Structure 1
């Protein structure tokens, strides 16, 4: 059975994102918060007094909080390929589920910026006739992104030919 297709229960088989996206986002969090913590502590310690250097701990609290939130957000992303449409689910507090019918897809592209390429990641962007239903699946392994693009393009062409 193909990844993401319906199982015997009639429920879609959800596929989560690989861990590379979480690693990338957590690394970016470290790159921003650690220098901010050190800089804040140094500047306030020298300008106001040593006790004020403790304000730099605020950025370490932001780091800890962001670390947890990034993990929860990453776990919330998933997608499922069904017979007639693609489901994309995301969100922790505000959950969103996007249903993209194959016949409505106009363009499926795979994108990968410099950081994504460095971490071996790619994103699949789906464009439909209605701008509000455009959808994106970030942080996929390039091979899976290309497979998904080819499959969605094939299914889109087959469904739109029947219109």
Structure 2
């Protein structure tokens, strides 16, 4: 009988957390900006539900209950989503990680970058944040980093554009 004990298995690393990567968080102001948008969207059905329930029929209070439930659920979910959104710049590529239940990790090689956009709507501008959108030859690439401060977004855009140009030139 041989005395061979199986080696203890090494804990499996998550495919969403590569070793040696230092992640950068997005701005916490993104939480407040998303709350404003959700509040504006939910305001119309809330007011309509209250008006209909008081003037027409009491069963319309169910609309108010649903709107309040969605608001509470969003209040719980949005901060977690923002904390889960991170990005990392490596030597050859950019990693963008997001999601809680349905997680995704997008890896964009710098040599595939065609251009980089910085976008900010009225709510994002009010909170001093912007989105950095990466464009590659593949239309399926969804590499966007939401909720960066204006200065951070501009610096990231410039760094990514420079790295993309250097990789395309073969440097």
Same fold (TM > 0.5): yes
Does 2:124 align with 1:116? yes
Q: Which deviates the most, 37-46 or 92-101?
A: 37-46
Q: Which residue of 67, 77, 88 maps to 2:85? A: 77
Does 2:158 align with 1:157? no
Q: Which residue of 92, 105, 111 maps to 2:100? A: 92
Paired residue total: 152
Does 2:38 align with 1:23? no
Match of 1:44 in 2: 53
* TM-score, scaled relative to structure 1: 0.85
Q: Distance in 2 between matches of 1:34 and 1:116?
A: 19
Q: CA deviation at 1:45?
A: 2.5
Q: Work out whether residues 128 and 134 of structure 1, in 8 Å CA contact, stay in contact via their aligned partners in 2.
A: no
Q: CA deviation at 1:134?
A: 4.4
Does 2:146 align with 1:138? yes
Q: Which is richer in helix?
A: 1
Q: Work out whether residues 124 and 145 of structure 1, in 8 Å CA contact, stay in contact via their aligned partners in 2.
A: yes
C-alpha RMSD of matched pairs (Å): 1.7
Larger radius of gyration: 2
Query: What SS is found at the alignment partner of 1:44?
Result: helix
